[in-house]
Chains A and B, each alone.
Chain A
Amino acid sequence: MKKKRMLSLLLAGILALSLLAGCGDKAPDNTQAPSTQAPSAQTPEDTKAPAAAPVELNVVTSYGGDDGNRKNYENAVASYEAATGNTILDASSSSNEEWKAKVLTDFETGTEPDVLFFFTNADAEPFIKAGKVVDIAAIRAEYPDYAGNMKDSMLAVASDGKSYAVPSSGFWENMFVNTKVLADCGVAVPGPDYTWDQFLTDCETIKAKGYAPIACSLFEVPHYWFEFAVMNNGTLENQLDVPAEATDAVGQKWAAALGDIKDLYERGYFPANTLTATDAETVQLFGDGDAAFLIDGSWKVNHFVDNYGDALENFAISYVPAKGQRTAGQAIGGISMGYFITKKAWDDPAKREAAVAFVEHMTSDDVMSTFVTTEVTALKNGAAPSGLNPLQQSAADANANITGVVGAVQDTITSEAKMDLFGNVQNVVTGAMSAEDAVASAIALN
């Protein structure tokens, strides 16, 4: 009887212990002495013989999925791992609103990565305000050459006046055209003087030929068209203004922009399944030669290089049609993303140096040059891309005619407002909601 009681107690104890086993939070291994290596500018070559034991770094970037720079990113990570012996635990994804929300959630639940490649605009404010990332000045106090190859004037400044992210390559958004489709329809590749009326005429011709004039998923990525539609109803200077209410001038401008998209939808210029297709599906439609126009960003160039490498001459970078005061040479662009080091990694002596070395490696002149083709950078020496392919050359040619660039207006509003606004585009174009109501709904959440 006594034996059974003892056995019962023993088993219950084991059960209770196993229950609590997962609750323990393994403290960072602080027993390891901090590296005595003098803080200095670290290049991959310098880190070939690391003083500390190899560490694992959790890294989150937007170089996941079908990102055009995925291969370059993988190569850069591999060269860092080879040089340092450290391991990168990569949890990258494609950039979209869901990914942004997940990153912010990770910060709020204490599961943020060690290094994060993320947007430097209002999207980053929640974790900056929460003190979850380390500012560049604080890092430079220990590593004076950190981000030393960057122009300080181009570092993004947060609302507290500090800079946190080391900028990567910039971006541009413009219109990709399928030249084969245009040729088949007898439509000329648009130039920097392309007008909205010409565009409507071209779309009608293309549609009559049986192609989808515009490749776009209004369900998933209506923001590309929204950005330019807003610019078409305003000016470069007031592009980033945010409405205080739907009835003010900016609110009316946004409503007019939504109205333009609705007009294109009603004319049947978007793919038949634009309200149920994903971005990947409509991009494929364009790539496969079933659609003529696609507004997308510089990150999409390498997607076509990777997936349509033997038919790059079928694609070109052109200009988004203009109306009102805007000219087609005005586009969306800038530097909107950069590498953050989180407080969690910084406070971990084992990871601090590895994180700094990783960011320095990823933003070094050599690595950046592999990511950059036609985008602007903050590098003091500039990037040195080599061997531009026909599509990249086309982008460079188009960029040469760009007369004005401004950031994306979607970056000036909160994530919830953005989700609401772009989620309602499908309701606006189908007439289920008025453009004014969609703007009012979004502004109420901003």
Chain B
Amino acid sequence: MNASSTLYKRKGPLVIFLVPAFLFLILFLYYPFVQNIINSFSDITGLGAPASGLNTPWYANYVTLFSDPKLRTALGNTVLLTVCTVVFQVGIALILALLVDSIRVGAQLFRTLYFFPIVISATALGLMFNLIFLYNGGMLNQLLTNLGLITENIDWKDPSHFMATMFAPVMWQYVGFYFVIMITGLNNISQDLYEAAALDGCTGLHRVRYITLPLLRNVLCTCLVLAITGALKVFDLPWVMFGAGMPQDQGWLTGTYMYDQTFNRGNVDYGSTIAILIVVLGVVLSNVANRVFRPRHDI
């Protein structure tokens, strides 16, 4: 028996190492979460203000939750955003990764270029996209006008266009993140397999279909789970671009609606209730995603 195995048999040092992180979690995660549950049953009219007792009835906020049309809109938009995230973010990232993996020159450049949006703050991106989609003098409207495609400016944030205007920047921002994960996954696939397949006449799309995708399955599963859980938390970019529910209360996401209720309107108890809904939604969807996209250990 060597010294290191003795160390791991003795649980004392491990417990000591775990205690700080555990304390941290209790202090900054579990305690606020429990407090948040209590707040959702209380009557609180300002952030930081003490509760003036329980709501009447105490579950009033949960009743409101089911009858609030703005929340229904927020939930619908968030679910749609999640679907779009899976299809476009992960999908585009996969296509880009496959393309970049197949080139020999400039792969590093593309990696940097595609990853770049991740390092820019969402607020800066929001402001940038606001300029692009600006009604008067915005880049997109100017471009379309100069190309002769439109004669009148398009309001990219109106009810007919806002969904694409809101989702496109979000998709664009995180494509690079999944792209890098997938590129790393692709690099782990042995070249021997490709060479053997080439000898058997398997090239091009067949190579992708029968070798790359099956061997990339676990990485894809991880990306999908991350994308789904990440989409539920999207807040900053839509908030900078659309503010409070633009247009006409149709642009709410669960995150922006919770923020507006809590910080702008001071309706802290209802904001807490929405926060719990977001947590429940996150836990349920991530569990479903984990089950559907369970990584296989035989790959």
- Which A residues fall within an 8 A CB radius of B? 1, 4-5, 8-9, 11-12, 15-16, 19, 97-98, 101-102, 104-105, 107-110, 126, 219-220, 271-273, 275-277, 281, 284-285, 290, 415-416, 419-420, 423, 426-427, 430, 432
Interface size on B, as a range, is 35 or more
By a CB distance below 8 angstroms, the chain B residues around A15 are: 17, 20
Known interface pairs A12-B13, A12-B19, A16-B20; 14 further A-B residue pairs with C-beta atoms within 8 A, sorted by A's residue number: A1-B3, A1-B6, A4-B13, A9-B13, A105-B48, A108-B49, A219-B246, A273-B155, A273-B158, A275-B247, A281-B134, A290-B136, A416-B266, A427-B248
By a CB distance below 8 angstroms, the chain B residues around A1 are: 3, 6-7
Q: Are A430 and B19 in contact (CB under 8 A)?
A: no
Q: Are A4 and B47 in contact (CB under 8 A)?
A: no
Q: B68 within 8 Å of A by Cβ?
A: no
Q: Are A11 and B17 in contact (CB under 8 A)?
A: yes
Find A285's partner among B3, B136, B248 (CB 8 Å cutoff).
B136
Report the minimal beta-carbon distance from A148 to chain B, rounded to whole angstroms.
35
Report the minimal beta-carbon distance from A123 to chain B, rounded to whole angstroms.
12
Q: B119 within 8 Å of A by Cβ?
A: no
Q: What 0/1 pattern do residues 118 to 144 of B give for CB contact below 8 A with A?
A: 000000000000000011100000000
Q: B145 within 8 Å of A by Cβ?
A: no
- Which B residues fall within an 8 A CB radius of A? 3, 6-7, 13, 16-17, 19-20, 23-24, 45-49, 134-136, 153, 155, 157-158, 162, 243-249, 263-267
By a CB distance below 8 angstroms, the chain A residues around B49 are: 108, 126
In the bound complex, how far is the Cα of B3 from the Cα of A11, in angstroms?
A: 19
In the bound complex, how far is the Cα of B158 from the Cα of A310, in angstroms?
A: 35
Q: What residue of chain B has the Cβ atom nearest to residue A272's Cβ? A: B155
Find A275's partner among B3, B17, B23, B158 (CB 8 Å cutoff).
B158
Q: What residue of chain A has the Cβ atom nearest to residue B13's Cβ? A: A8
In the bound complex, how far is the Cα of B137 from the Cα of A440, in angstroms?
A: 39
In the bound complex, how far is the Cα of B16 from the Cα of A102, in angstroms?
A: 40
By a CB distance below 8 angstroms, the chain B residues around A220 are: 243
Q: Are A16 and B23 in contact (CB under 8 A)?
A: yes
By a CB distance below 8 angstroms, the chain A residues around B20 are: 12, 15-16, 19
Q: Are A277 and B17 in contact (CB under 8 A)?
A: no
Find A430's partner among B13, B23, B245, B248 (CB 8 Å cutoff).
B248
20 chain-A/chain-B pairs, Cβ below 8 angstroms: A1-B6, A1-B7, A5-B13, A8-B13, A19-B23, A98-B264, A101-B263, A104-B266, A105-B48, A108-B47, A108-B48, A109-B48, A275-B246, A275-B248, A276-B162, A277-B135, A415-B266, A423-B244, A423-B245, A427-B248
